[in-house]
């Protein structure tokens, strides 16, 4: 009986999450109601409140799952210094590709801006740990540099998602790395 309940709970949470994501594709979280989520998920409100406090709690739980999953995903790879930046970027872009609808929705104008900041922090931690650790750069300078690089990378990814993801994850990773490593000198090559 317990296994059946666990499957039912998982299914209920999944349809509630999917319903919120579908609604966020159309409008901002402040305009989404619990009633709308429940109607779309075909779940009654008391069931919703068994799992979540409100639509913001549901959104936070979705974001937390993605951030935890992304940390685990990126941590599962080990890179050598030579290929580290490109492969880490490619793995991040592949992860986003696998969860296209989720990222497309959470990074659009209706999504929660804190998610983008949290995503940037995950990427920044990996950049700082894997590429700037061991350099003789000033810590504050390294922080500014990683913020600059990650902000640009996130916006390139957002543009790539918005334009239909025509390039492969490898091509986008290479583009981001070229911009990060060569900046405007990339245009003169």
pLDDT digits (tens, 9 = 90+) for 15-45: 999 999 999 989 999 999 999 999 999 999 9
End-to-end CA distance of the chain: 65
Under 8 Å between Cβ of 2 and 10: no
What pLDDT sits at residue 132? 57
Structural domain spans, the chain: 1-52, 55-188
Q: Which of 89, 105, 103 is nearest to 149 (CA)?
A: 89
For the entire predicted model, the pTM comes to: 0.78
3-state secondary structure of 80: coil
Q: Do domains 1-52 and 55-188 have the same CATH topology?
A: no
Q: What percent of the chain is modeled with pLDDT above 90?
A: 34
Return the pLDDT at 13. 94
Q: What is the largest CA-CA distance in the chain?
A: 66
Q: Tell me if 41 sits within 8 A of 18, measured CB to CB.
A: yes
CA atoms of 3 and 9, how far apart (whole Å): 10
Cα angle at 75 between 69 and 79, to 5 degrees? 140
Q: For residue 158, which of 118, 112, 109 has the smallest C-alpha distance? A: 109
Query: Is the pLDDT reported for residue 173 higher than 70?
Result: yes
* pLDDT value, residue 142: 75
Task: Tell me the CATH number for domain 55-188.
Answer: 1.10.357.10
Please name the fold of domain 1-52: Arc Repressor Mutant, subunit A (1.10.10)
Averaged pLDDT of the chain: 83
CB 133 within 8 Å of CB 184: no
């Amino acid at each position: 009986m317990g296994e059946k309940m666990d499957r039912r709970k998982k299914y209920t949470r999944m349809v509630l999450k999917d319903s919120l994501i579908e609604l966020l594709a159309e409008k901002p979280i402040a305009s989404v109601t619990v009633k709308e989520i429940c109607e779309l998920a075909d779940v009654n409100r008391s069931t919703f409140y068994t799992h979540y406090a409100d639509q913001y709690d549901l959104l936070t739980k979705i974001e937390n799952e993605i951030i935890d999953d992304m940390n685990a995903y990126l941590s599962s790879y080990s890179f050598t210094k030579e290929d580290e930046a490109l492969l880490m970027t490619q793995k991040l872009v592949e992860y986003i590709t696998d969860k296209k609808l989720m990222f497309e929705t959470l990074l659009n104008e209706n999504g929660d801006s804190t998610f983008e900041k949290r995503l940037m922090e995950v990427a920044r931690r990996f950049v700082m740990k894997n590429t700037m650790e061991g350099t003789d750069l000033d810590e504050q300078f390294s922080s500014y540099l990683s913020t600059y690089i990650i902000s640009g990378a996130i916006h390139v990814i957002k543009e790539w998602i918005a334009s239909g993801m025509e390039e492969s994850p490898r091509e986008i990773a290479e583009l981001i790395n070229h911009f990060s490593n060569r900046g405007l000198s990339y245009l003169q090559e």
